[in-house]
Structure 1
Amino acid sequence: MRIPKHVGIIPDGNRRWAQNHGMTKEKGYENGLDPGILAYRTCRDMGVEEITFYGFTTDNTKRPSVQTKAFTDACIKAANILYDEGASLLVIGNTKSPMFPKELLPFTERTKGKEGQIKANLLVNYGWHWDLNTLADAENVNKNNIQNHIQSFDISRLDLIIRWGGRRRLSGFLPVQSIYADFYVLDEYWPDFDTSHISQALNWYSTQDVTLGG
């Protein structure tokens, strides 16, 4: 089976899951933590070299404060879980905004991973416009070096993006790195994650004709 080097994870459906279980919307986020570490371990064990999780976007911060606090707290916990696991962790997002949690500042430079672990990126207070805004001031930019001039320059090109929750959109997920990514959608909500979801997605990916535009 052909294994993607870099997998993106869009963990959607947390609020809908909470409502279906008789909870308030914000309760869904804390139930997405265990799925996160399981997804990391499954990808690692299947031979994936890098994984990127969508934490929250600058647009998400427009939601009610009880929800923004819940998903911010969940991102802080997720980062620490990945770090404790030994992942080579990088948190990417607009650190100049008050919505970026100060607890994650130590992870805005990639940590050294433990032996046998892989790269894990977490997008926190991330916005595609923030990511690309340095391009306007950059000189001598061409198609071969554009990634050197964006905020997320240390994140490699994505091979496969998996989205839970049934929605078929990228929602601004790393627009430069996702340019040639295959996109796999699961109807299950993220808190209902099962390791078989990763296997399904990777099996599907291995049947795709990857040409990178050639």
Structure 2
Amino acid sequence: MAKVSFDGTSGFEVPRHVAIIMDGNGRWAAARGLPRGEGHRRGVEALRRTVRAAGEIGIGILTIFAFSSENWSRPQSEIRDLLGLLRLFIRKDLSELNRNNVRVRVIGDRETLSDDVRGLLEEAEELTRNNSGMTLVVAFNYGARQEIARAAQRIAEAVVSRGLSPADISADKLSEFMDAPDLPDPDLIIRTSGEQRLSNFLLWQSAYSELVFMPTFWPDFDRTTLEQAISEYARRERRFGGLAAAGT
């Protein structure tokens, strides 16, 4: 992990994997008398800032909750705006991500996506597949319960087709069937807008993640806000169910 210092004092370790629930675009817009679409557009700008800042700080993996499986229930006009921004982000920003050695990964259910959206996501993965810098994980059409259900289906298929014994199914074995089993669990999960819940995001992987809830609406999120969240994380003592170093 990289050592950083935001205030001139001795540095501390940056979390290897940070995940962000990017919340508050609509409320940011409403507070300014603007349409929700403008909030989403400003949210894309915040995403650009955050990806750059994460790379500069030394975060190895950044996971973003881009579009949930529940978001399809929103008004069709808003869904069109969100999908349009996804297309714009990939077409406009993918080349910069590739130049900066960022690898893009996608988690979520791809089967129900339109061919053009699925194609864009696969294009981003393929172009950046060999990059060795920061990994940007895009959770798109993603729901954690749905991911766990997919993992259960995959492991059931392995029992039937590969002779996997039910007795061998453990927590570690189930993890191998998740959407991105090779990636470590997030050390830190940030949610913006002041809401304090995970909203069906990385429920399996967040078992020992540190959670930081910030009052900032996502369009106002920037490097300073990210540093504040990491500073809060650095003050925590992660025990993973064990005792503190002093035995307390």
Name the TM-score, length of structure 1 as normaliser.
Answer: 0.90
Contact in 2 for aligned 1:93/1:123 (Cα 8 Å):
yes
Partner residue of 1:112 out of 125, 129, 132? 129
Q: Structure 1 stretches (4+) deviating beyond 6 angstroms?
A: none
Which residue pairs with 2:162 in the alignment?
A: none
Which residue pairs with 2:61 in the alignment?
A: 50
User: How far is 1:92 from its partner?
Assistant: 1.7
Contact in 2 for aligned 1:99/1:125 (Cα 8 Å):
no
The reply on whether 1:10 has 2:25 as its aligned counterpart is no
CA distance in 2, matches of 1:55, 1:195: 19
Partner residue of 1:92 out of 98, 101, 107? 107
Q: Which has the higher helix share?
A: 2
CA distance in 1, matches of 2:206, 2:83: 24
Which residue pairs with 1:122 in the alignment?
A: 138
Q: Which moved more, 1:46-55 or 1:136-145?
A: 136-145
Alignment of 1:34-183 (within 5 A): 34-80=45-91, 81-82=93-94, 84-86=96-98, 87-98=102-113, 101-102=117-118, 103-107=120-124, 111-112=128-129, 114=131, 117-137=133-153, 138=155, 139=159, 140-183=168-211
* Unpaired runs of at least 5, structure 1: none
CA distance in 1, matches of 2:191, 2:237: 20
Report the secondary structure of 1:175's partner residue.
coil
Which residue pairs with 1:197 in the alignment?
A: 225
User: How far is 1:135 from its partner?
Assistant: 3.4
- Which of structures 1 and 2 has the bigger CA Rg? 2
Q: How many residues align?
A: 213
Give the AA of the match of 2:195: R
| Sequence identity percentage | 27
Name the TM-score, length of structure 2 as normaliser.
Answer: 0.79
Residue by residue, what CA displacement relative to the aligned partner does 1:6-37 show, whole Å, maximum 9, x if unpaired? 00011100001111121122221111112112
**Cα RMSD (Å):** 2.0
User: How far is 1:132 from its partner?
Assistant: 1.3
